[in-house]
Amino acid sequence: MSKLMPASAIGTPFERLDGELKVRGTAPYAYEQPVENPVHLYPVLSTVARGRVERVETAEAEAIDGVLTILTAETAPRLADSSDRELAVLQDASVGYRGQIVAAVLAETPETAREAAAAVQVTYTEEPFTAQLRADDPALYAPEELNAGIPTDSSQGDFDGAFDTAALRINATYSTPPEHNNPLEPHVTVAQWNGTVLTLWDSTQGVHAVRDTVAQVLGLEEEQVRVIAPHVGGGFGSKGMPHVQVVMAALAAQVTDGRPVKFPVSRQQMYTLTSHRTPTIQHVRLGAADDGRLSAMSLDILEHTSRIKEFAEQTPAPFRMMYASPNRRTTTRLAPLDIPVPSWMRAPGECPGMFGPEVAMDELAAAAGLDPIELRRRNEPEVDPETGNPFSSRHLLECFDLGAERFGWQNRVARPRSVQEDGWLVGMGTASAVYPFMRQPANTARIRYEQDGVYSVQIGAADIGTGSWTALTQIAADALRVPVNRIRLGIGDTRFPKASVAGGSSGTASWGGTIIAAARAFREDHGEHPSPGAQTEAQPPEDPEAADLALYSFGAHFAEVRIHADTGEIRVPRMLGVFSAGRIINPRTARSQFLGAMTMGLGMALHEQGVLDPRFGIFVNSDLAEYHIPTNADVLDMEALWIEDHDEHAGPLGARGIGEIGIVGSAAAIANAAYNASGTRIRDLPLTADKFL
Ligand code: MOS
């Protein structure tokens, strides 16, 4: 390497470039974007789960000083496309779930809007509804395909025959409850319509996704919609697809004579308006020889969806590719319920889909008298069992080996309920993690050399708190062979070239690969000494070989659990995750991603549970006082490590993404540790104290 080359920015643990702004509270989030003379929106939500709005009595609310107008299904502007019933707000009288928007107050202050919303009286005709996922629901159906275009069912070989004759059999049902994305920043949209252009300051994981949807639903040209989101306070998938508040704010902006409309969704409203993770019932059957080698695997999944809009999570996806077995099948069936619309939540599919199977593997290890890591070693596939394609990189066992060493796995006592300290039952557990690499090809980046010697690098990407602002700057600096302080990154605006959503852990790899391609094209166009104003836009090249490879990240989770023998109180003093996720761009922000996801896994294991009351069709614990997530007192010694892994088929960057794999399998590791500690096998999340008594 030439002495003139700057040291590589990739691999350096830079602090977040936007960190100081955020810590000082000066980073403008959607709600804080400076707009003049805003109007404030507060929604009125349905109090029945299914039926029709018969009458909306607004006179009392309209009489309140400062109320501008009240939109109802009768008075709201019409949408051009009402086919998406989640987004078709105030377009007809039907009610599809309790907590749906049935009117919206526009007022001079947020307080006035809220007060007036409480004074709106709505009368309904109620219809019978169903709000309970039941295995015997006659309405259960097979969706045409699962999220991300994954086939609904799969079958290879003869599962039934192989299972019937297997020496060892695990046959158990597991469940995960509804879970709620709880980003720190609730969803919010500020909308302004000037008669030609609709500007949306939105808290979103993808400005272009919002633009495209809003243009379609409102019947506008894409150029007429601008979406701006420089800073986003988390999303966990719930800001990946636009939800109803975006359309509501956009509609309202059409009746305010150009005044911007602010619609901040409250924490409680998020539980119905901005999606949740579907609950799952997972029937797992594993058949194996005495030595633990799998001969038969099946997974039958039941989930709920909303009757007004289908969301079919890809829950069986990891089960199809994780372990070798000649005979295997999966099915997924959905119950259409009169409930809020479920959607993505961190590692949709993979996260719940690795819970039952990874606990079942622990049960099989016990039945075979094998160490759980050894069981996985014996079931490593040569190639992807689902497609027959070779893996681009599969370092699952290296993750287990390193993790076992660091965690002190050799100190685990295999026989459950063997270790007791001061009244606490102590145990260790492990589970695998996996996440697919989902590179998004349709990205474009723009690079311009500026007068001040800085490169402007622009792409409509998002930083949802992950550190992508920093990571992309590092990637751009290396690609343009300059220090990071000569990069001016522009993201979070549809004025920048079109980019994919920050979802599927694909962001940094996809956008970063695009920036590398654009930097190469820029040098070809303008040489090493460009003139100010020199500009290039480019897309990344396709990798023809990648289509014939299975691209996945892998990991191994380890957990220590302590359960109080008298009270059932459960604590997780130690967690370790070891990952192989391709190249790591920024070790500091990467570690945060892993730890954040493992913390969410801890929440999934111990705390999180949306309680859907079937009598009313509502999530009754719709705030952070009653929907529990881990706090500092719950997160004790938690560490994330990774092994070096530059995946040459994962785009020009060699990175496969880190946002989601940390949650996958983590709850199973904790449940397995809880079994080792207590001898009680809990198959239904969360692992609350009562279940150990
Ligand atoms: Mo993530 S749930 O793919 O935004």
The type of residue at 245 is Q
pLDDT of residue 3: 44
Over the stretch 634-655, which tens digit does the pLDDT of each residue have? 999 999 999 989 999 988 899 9
Please say whether the beta carbons of 563 and 678 come within 8 A.
Answer: yes
Q: Which residues of 590-615 are buried (b: 16+ CB within 10 A; e: fewer)?
A: bbbbbbbbbbbbbbbbbbbbbebeee
DSSP state of 232: -
Number of CB atoms found within 10 A of residue 63's CB: 10
6 pLDDT exceeds 70? no
Q: Which atom of ligand 1 is nearest to the CA of 345?
A: 2
Alpha-carbon radius of gyration of the chain: 26
676 pLDDT exceeds 50? yes
Nearest CA to ligand 1 atom 4: 237
Structure tokens at 541: 């090249």
Instruction: Please give the Cα distance from 296 to 655 (Å, whole number).
Output: 33
Over the stretch 517-531, which tens digit does the pLDDT of each residue have? 999 999 999 998 999
Q: Please give the distance, rounded to the nearest whole angstrom, from the Cα atom of residue 548 to the centre of ligand 1.
A: 25
Q: Is 450 left (phi over 0), alpha (psi -120 to 50) or beta?
A: beta
Q: Which residues share a beta bridge with 305?
A: 336
5 pLDDT exceeds 70? no
* Mean pLDDT (whole number) for 578-601: 98
DSSP state of 435: E
Residues present in the chain in total: 693
Structure tokens at 234: 């988390």
DSSP state of 620: S
Q: Please give the distance, rounded to the nearest whole angstrom, from the Cα atom of residue 235 to the centre of ligand 1.
A: 8
Structure tokens at 121: 């009286």
Please say whether the beta carbons of 150 and 312 come within 8 A.
Answer: no
How far from 502 is each of 206, 282, 462, 465, 510, CA to CA, in Å?
A: 6, 29, 6, 11, 10
pLDDT of residue 2: 41
Please say whether the beta carbons of 509 and 582 come within 8 A.
Answer: yes
Q: What are phi and psi of 670, to 5 degrees?
A: -70, -40
Q: What angle do CA 234, 238, 242 make, to 5 degrees?
A: 110
- CA within 13 Å, CB half, 536: 21
Instruction: Please give the Cα distance from 188 to 200 (Å, whole number).
Output: 10
- Residue 596, classed as helix, strand or coil, is helix
Q: Please give the distance, rounded to the nearest whole angstrom, from the Cα atom of residue 124 to the centre of ligand 1.
A: 36
Q: Which atom of ligand 1 is nearest to the CA of 464?
A: 4
As a 3-state breakdown, the chain gives helix, strand, coil percent values, each rounded to 5, of 25, 25, 45
Residues with active-site annotation: 660
Q: Please give the distance, rounded to the nearest whole angstrom, from the Cα atom of residue 238 to the centre of ligand 1.
A: 7
* Mean pLDDT (whole number) for 626-632: 96
Q: Please give the distance, rounded to the nearest whole angstrom, from the Cα atom of residue 664 to the centre of ligand 1.
A: 12
- Residue 72, classed as helix, strand or coil, is strand
Percent of the chain beyond pLDDT 70?
A: 99
Helix (H) or strand (E) holding 560: strand 552-564
Q: Which atom of ligand 1 is nearest to the CA of 240?
A: 4
Task: Return the residue matching tokens 């989930």.
Answer: 303
Instruction: Please give the Cα distance from 263 to 246 (Å, whole number).
Output: 8
Over the stretch 301-318, which tens digit does the pLDDT of each residue have? 999 999 999 999 999 999
Q: Which atom of ligand 1 is nearest to the CA of 660?
A: 1
Over the stretch 255-294, which tens digit does the pLDDT of each residue have? 999 999 999 999 999 999 999 999 999 999 999 999 999 9
Q: Which atom of ligand 1 is nearest to the CA of 502?
A: 4
Q: Say which residues have a Cβ less than 8 Å from residue 645's Cβ, sequence separation at least 6.
A: 393, 395, 580, 581, 582, 583
Q: Please give the distance, rounded to the nearest whole angstrom, from the Cα atom of residue 605 to the centre of ligand 1.
A: 19
Which stretches of 29-66 are assigned E, i.e. beta strand? 39-45, 51-57
Q: What is the ipTM of this complex?
A: 0.97
Instruction: Please give the Cα distance from 134 to 99 (Å, whole number).
Output: 22
Q: Which atom of ligand 1 is nearest to the CA of 235?
A: 4
Instruction: Please give the Cα distance from 582 to 549 (Å, whole number).
Output: 15
Please say whether the beta carbons of 208 and 494 come within 8 A.
Answer: yes
Q: What structural domains does the chain harbor?
A: 19-29+442-541 (3.30.365.10), 36-128+182-273 (3.30.365.10), 145-179+277-438+548-692 (3.30.365.10)
Instruction: Please give the Cα distance from 9 to 14 (Å, whole number).
Output: 8
* Mean pLDDT (whole number) for 563-590: 98
* Ligand 1 pocket mutation pick from 344, 663, 664 by most atoms within 8 angstroms of CB: 344
* Ligand 1 pocket mutation pick from 351, 660, 663, 664 by most atoms within 8 angstroms of CB: 660
Ligand 1 pocket, Cβ-based, cut-off 6 angstroms? 205, 236-237, 240, 344-346, 348, 503-504
Over the stretch 35-83, which tens digit does the pLDDT of each residue have? 999 999 999 999 999 999 999 999 999 999 999 999 999 999 999 999 9
Please say whether the beta carbons of 439 and 510 come within 8 A.
Answer: yes
Percent of the chain beyond pLDDT 90?
A: 96
Q: What are phi and psi of 122, to 5 degrees?
A: -115, 130
618 pLDDT exceeds 60? yes
Which stretches of 370-523 are assigned E, i.e. beta strand? 419-421, 424-436, 445-449, 455-458, 487-490
Instruction: Please give the Cα distance from 669 to 653 (Å, whole number).
Output: 31
Q: What are phi and psi of 446, to 5 degrees?
A: -120, 135
204 pLDDT exceeds 50? yes
DSSP state of 662: T
- Residue 639, classed as helix, strand or coil, is strand
Reported confidence tier of residue 547, pLDDT bands at 50, 70, 90? confident
* Ligand 1 pocket mutation pick from 181, 346, 500 by most atoms within 8 angstroms of CB: 346
Chain centroid to CA 399 = 23
- Which residue, among 325, 357, 314, has the nearest Cα to 173 in the 3D structure? 357
Structure tokens at 135: 């295995």
* Mean pLDDT (whole number) for 604-613: 98
Please say whether the beta carbons of 430 and 403 come within 8 A.
Answer: yes
**Cis peptide bond N-terminal to 686, omega within 30:** yes
Q: Please give the distance, rounded to the nearest whole angstrom, from the Cα atom of residue 502 to the centre of ligand 1.
A: 7
Q: Please give the distance, rounded to the nearest whole angstrom, from the Cα atom of residue 237 to the centre of ligand 1.
A: 4
Task: Return the residue matching tokens 């699962």.
Answer: 146
Please say whether the beta carbons of 200 and 465 come within 8 A.
Answer: no
Task: Return the residue matching tokens 């999606």.
Answer: 275
Instruction: Please give the Cα distance from 441 to 200 (Å, whole number).
Output: 26
Over the stretch 353-410, which tens digit does the pLDDT of each residue have? 999 999 999 999 999 999 999 999 999 999 999 999 999 999 999 999 999 999 999 9
Reported confidence tier of residue 1, pLDDT bands at 50, 70, 90? very low
How far from 344 is each of 306, 341, 524, CA to CA, in Å?
A: 14, 10, 40
Please say whether the beta carbons of 452 and 520 come within 8 A.
Answer: no
Structure tokens at 177: 């409850």
Task: Return the residue matching tokens 């799998």.
Answer: 294
Q: Please give the distance, rounded to the nearest whole angstrom, from the Cα atom of residue 211 to the centre of ligand 1.
A: 18
Please say whether the beta carbons of 585 and 354 come within 8 A.
Answer: no
Instruction: Please give the Cα distance from 641 to 665 (Å, whole number).
Output: 16
